[in-house]
Amino acid sequence: MVITRQDRNIIIEASDSINMGAVQKVIDYINILEIVAKNQGSEEQASDLAELVNKSWWSENKSRFLP
């Protein structure tokens, strides 16, 4: 396996014998790291958004859980 940096990119070269499922998991994780690095929201904003999403989800789905 060879890892190099080219301009603003990191290039990973591996043999084709590597498990593609594992490669996809690594790529997904790297995508999350990239998104988190760009995050400019505060902890309070994240909490407010989570509360809003939870309220919306509950109002749409409460009939599935309550008689």
Q: What is the pTM of this model?
A: 0.52
The pLDDT > 70 percentage for the chain reads 100
How do the domains of the chain map onto residue ranges? 1-35
Question: Exposed e or buried b for every residue in 30-43, given b needs 16+ CB within 10 A?
Answer: eeeeeeeeeeeeee
In the predicted structure, residue 39 carries a pLDDT above the cut 90? no
pLDDT in tens, 10-36: 999 999 899 999 999 999 999 999 988
